[in-house]
Amino acid sequence: MEEAIQQEQQVVHKKKMRPWIKWSLISLVIVLLVVASLLLYVNAYINRSLADTEGTKSVSGLNEQVEILRDENGVPHITASNDYDLFFAQGYVTAQDRLFQMEMARRQASGELSEVAGEVALNQDKYFRTLGLRRAAEKSLELYDEESIKVLEAYADGVNQYIQEVKKDNKFPVEFKLMGVEGMDEWTVIDSLTIGKYMAYDLGGHWERQAFNYYLMHNFNEEEAYELFPTYPEDGLTNISDEEYVDITANLTQAPKTHEFNGSNNWVVSGDKTDSGLPLLSNDPHLGLATPSIWYQVHLDSDKYNVSGVIFAGIPGVILGHNEDVAWGVTNVGPDVQQLYLEQRHEDDPHKFKYEDEWVEAEVITETIEIKDQDPVEYEVIETIHGPVISEFANNTGGEEAVFSLDWTALDATPELSAVLKINRAKNWEEFEKALEDFHAPAQNFVFASKDGTIAYKANGKIPKYDDPDHALLPLPGWNSEYDLDEFIPFDELPRIVNPEKGFVATANNKVISDEYPYHISHMWAQPYRYTRIHEVLQESDSLSIEDMKDLQMDQMNLQARQFTPIFTDILENTQLSSKEQKAIDSLKSWNYVDDADNPQPLIFHRLLKHIEDELFADEIPEEVLSMFKGSGQNLDQLIMKAYEGKDVLWFEKNGGLEQVISNAFTKTIDELEEMQGENMSEWAWGDYHQVYFAHPLSNISILDEFFNPIEPVPVGGSNVTVMAASFKDNGITNHGASWRFVIDLENINQAHHIVGPGQAGHYRSKWYDNQIMDWVEGNYHLTKMDVNGGKRLVLKPE
C-alpha cells in the first residue's frame, strides 16, 4: 500500500515537472534559433562585402565594356579598349579587394587616424601633419602632365564608383563597422599621391641616425661617440656647440620610426650566364609583413599598356614588374636625403628663426585634427626655410629657443607617377632610363632587362650634393647658409651600369659606389652579407635557370654567422664553461651556417648577438634613444672585429673587455633559451622562436585575432642577414621581409613567377586572403601569364 502511494506521488511530481521542462526546452530552442539567426545575419553581413568576381555589372562612368579575369590566385587581368576605362577598372577592382586598407593608408599618410582610432593615434597624426606628406602631394600635382592627371582621375573615378555601390547597398567591409567608421569620403587624386609620398617616407632616410649621432656627441667623449658613427669622421665635428645643445630625448624619440631593414634584393643576369640564353631578373622588396599585403598584383591591358606586376593599393599603374618588352625591379639606395637642422628661434617671437644674421618669418600652418569621441585639436605646424620643425610634434612648447627642422627631398614637388606610367610603356633601355628622370623619391636601385638581351642598372633619385660628406652625420646649423643643400647629383652622373662584363648586376642595399665616385651618397649602407651571398651564387655558374633564381631568393645561408661564429667559439673556449655551455659551443662548431628553422644554432647565434649589444649599450644609452640607432648591427660587427684583432675599442673596454662581454652574453643566451625551449638542447629550434604571422591591423584586439589571423604563427627560416630576408622582433615574430617575390626569364617575357604574402585579397572570407602564407614560407611561386584565358570573369558595362 505504502509503495503504491509513493508511486502515485512520483507520477504527480512528474506531471508537475513536465510544464517546466516543456517551457525550458521551448526557451532553449528559441535562444538557439535567435543565436542561429544572428549568426546567419552576421555571416550574410560579412559576406555581402566580398568582391563580385563573376557576371556582368552596369557601372556609371565607363565609356566601353571592360573585362576582368581573375586567375586562380585572385590576380585581376583587366582588359579595356582605352586608357580611361583601364585605370577606372583598376581603381574599381582594387577598391573591391582592399577598400579598408586604402582608407587606413590615406588616413595614416594624411595624419587623420585619430578621427577613427581616437586619441591613441593623436601623436602619430601630429607627426604626419608636421611632415606634410599631403601638402607635398598637393604641390606635386602641379608637376604632372595632362596624361598622368587623366590616369589619376580615372583611377579615382573607379574607386568612387565602388564606394557609391557599397554605400547604396550597405556592404562596407566589416572592419569599418568594427572601427566605428560610418561610410567613406570620396577618393581623390591627392589621396593616391599622398600614399606615394608615404612610401617615400617608409624608405626615406636617416634623420634618426643623425639625431642619435648628435646625442652621442653631447653625452659621451669624442672617441666613444665616433666608435658608434656609421663611418669614422676624419676631422672633428664641431658644427654645434654644447651651449646650443637640444636634448633629443625630449624632442625626437617619440616620432614614429621606420623599420631599420627597409631594403630589398634584386639582380639581373645576362643571357651569357643563363640556360635560356636571355636575361633572368629577380626582385624581392623588403617591407612590413602584414595582412593584407602592402602590394596589390595586377595585369593591365589596353591599346597603350600591357603590363603586369604590383603596385601599392590606392595608386594606378604597375610600379614593379614587366611588360611585353622589358622587366625591372628595385632596391632602396638608402641615400642621405634627409637632413636635420638645428634652428635658432627668436626669444620673443616663436615664428621667427635666425638665418644669416636676420630673423626670418616661418610659415605657420594650422591643422585641425578630428579625434573620435573628443573635441578637435588645433595643431600648429611651423616650416622654416629648411622644412617642418619636427621637434614640435612631441612637445609643443613654443617658447623653446632651439628646435630641429627637417630638409627632405620627398617633401618637394616630385612626379613619380609620371615615371611609373612611362616605365610601364617602355620598350627598351633608352626609353626606360629616360622615364627615370621623373622618379625622384624614394631613391632606388633599378635593375633592368629587355628581350633584346640588354641588362642594366641605375641608382636613381634626387640626391643632395654634400660639400663635406661628414656634414651628413649630424644636424647642421640652420642659421648658416653655408650648410644649405640646394644642389643635387646630376641625373647623368648617377651610378649606372649597362651590359657588364661579368654578366650580372646585383644590389642588396649595399654600397653601390667605389671610393673614386665623386659624390657622397650615403653613410648608411646595409651589412654586406646578402649582397655577398648573391654575388657568390651568381658568379659560380654560367647556366643559371629560373629555378636557381627562386632558390637564391629562398637562400638561408648566414654569412654573418660564417664570419663571427668561429670568433665567438674561439673566445668562449678560453673561458670557463658549464657543461650546457660547452654543448652549445660544440653545436655551433658543427653548424653549416644555414638559418634553418629546424636547427638550434641560428637561435643561439642570433640571441647571442642581441645579448652582446645589450651588454654594450643597454646600461649606457636610454632605450628610447637606442631606438634611433639605425644600422647598429653594422657598428656591432665592426666593434667586434676591431677588438678581436687586438685594437682598442672603448665600448668593450668599459664593459670588461671583449672576452668578458662575449662570455656574459653567452651565459645569458643559454640561460634564456633553456627557459624558453627547455633543458634538452637537441630539441631547440630556430623556428619555435622565429615565426611569421602577417598580422592584421585589428588582430591586436584578442577577440578579433582568430578572425583576421586564422592561421597560427608559422615557423620560418632565414633572418635579417640572409637573402631570404625575414627580420624579426624581440619576441621572434617575423614582421619584415620579402613582401613580394618576383622572378622572370626574358625567354618567356609574357609570364612571371610571384609570391605575394599572405595573399591577394583583403577580405578574410576570400579564398585568396591568406592562401600564400605557406607559399611564402616554403618558396612555392605561382605563375602569372599575360595571356590568361581562364578563371572568374567579371564584365563591367557602361550604365
Distance CA 172, CA 160 (A): 13
Radius of gyration of the chain (CA): 29
Residues annotated in the binding site, as ranges?
336
In a domain, 630, yes or no: no
> Residues with Cβ < 8 Å from 370, sequence gap 6 or more?
112, 114, 115, 376
Q: What percent of the chain has a predicted confidence (pLDDT) above 90? A: 82
Question: Can you spell out the DSSP letters for 97-118?
Answer: HHHHHHHHHHHHHHT--HHHH-
Q: Is the pLDDT of residue 395 over 70?
A: no
Q: For residue 173, what is the domain's CATH number?
A: 3.60.20.10
Question: Can you spell out the DSSP letters for 136-184?
Answer: HHHHHHTT--HHHHHHHHHHHHHHHHHHHHHHHHT---HHHHHTT----
pTM, rounded to two decimals:
0.92
Whose cell is 660639400? That residue is 467
Question: Can you spell out the DSSP letters for 740-797?
Answer: -EEEEEGGGTTEEEEE-SS-S-S-TTSTTSSTTHHHHHHT--EEEETT---SEEEEEE
Q: State the pLDDT at residue 27.
A: 60
Going by pLDDT thresholds of 50, 70 and 90, the confidence category of residue 700 is confident
Q: Comparing C-alpha atoms, which of 713, 681, 717, 689 is closest to residue 699?
A: 713
Least-confidence region, from 22-36, 501-515, 620-634, 654-668: 22-36
Name the grid cell of 88.
577606372
Helix (H) or strand (E) holding 408: strand 402-408
Q: Is the pLDDT of residue 235 over 70?
A: no
Q: Is the pLDDT of residue 237 over 60?
A: no
Max Cα distance, the chain (Å): 120
Distance CA 652, CA 657 (A): 5
Going by pLDDT thresholds of 50, 70 and 90, the confidence category of residue 175 is very high
Angle at the Cα of 240 from the Cα atoms of 234 and 245, rounded to 5 degrees: 130
The 55-59 sheet, strands edge to edge:
55-59, 792-798, 66-70, 76-79, 295-301, 306-312, 320-323, 326-332, 444-450, 455-460, 496-498
- Mean of all residue pLDDT scores within the chain: 91
Q: Which residue among the candidates 148, 264, 405, 739 is catalytic per the annotation?
A: 264
Q: State the pLDDT at residue 182.
A: 84
> Residues 339, 345, 350, 353: is their CA dihedral positive or negative?
negative
Q: Is the pLDDT of residue 132 over 90?
A: yes
How do the residues of the chain divide into helix, strand and coil, expressed in percent and rounded to 5? 40, 20, 40
- Distance between terminal CA atoms of the chain? 89
Q: Say if residues 514 and 488 touch (Cβ distance below 8 Å).
A: no
Mean pLDDT of 250-261: 67
Name the grid cell of 348.
620673443
In a domain, 235, yes or no: no
Mean pLDDT of 245-267: 71
Whose cell is 611632415? That residue is 131
Name the grid cell of 328.
625591372
Centre a 10 Å sphere on the Cβ of residue 391 and count the other Cβ atoms it contains. Answer: 28
Q: State the pLDDT at residue 397.
A: 45
Name the grid cell of 564.
663571427
Report how many domains make up the chain: 1
Mean pLDDT of 617-635: 92
Cis peptide before 477 (omega within 30 of 0): no
Mode of pairing for the β-strands spanning 476-477 and 338-344: parallel
Name the grid cell of 616.
654594450
Burial 85-98 (b: 16+ CB within 10 A, else e): bbbbbbbbbbbbbb
Per-residue pLDDT tens digits for 499-519: 999 999 999 999 999 989 999
Centre a 10 Å sphere on the Cβ of residue 626 and count the other Cβ atoms it contains. Answer: 17
In a domain, 699, yes or no: no
In a domain, 359, yes or no: yes
264 is catalytic: yes
Going by the DSSP 8-state scheme, the letter that residue 503 receives in this structure is S
Total residue count of the chain as it appears in this document: 799
In a domain, 5, yes or no: no
Q: State the pLDDT at residue 726.
A: 96
Q: Say if residues 523 and 230 touch (Cβ distance below 8 Å).
A: yes
Residues annotated in the binding site for Ca(2+), as ranges?
336
Per-residue pLDDT tens digits for 134-154: 999 999 999 999 999 999 999
Name the grid cell of 275.
640556360
Angle at the Cα of 188 from the Cα atoms of 298 and 770, rounded to 5 degrees: 35
Mean pLDDT of 52-72: 96
In a domain, 496, yes or no: yes
Mean pLDDT of 689-695: 96
Least-confidence region, from 29-43, 435-449, 783-797: 29-43
In a domain, 625, yes or no: no
In a domain, 542, yes or no: yes
Structural domain boundaries, residue 352: 48-205+258-274+289-553+749-799
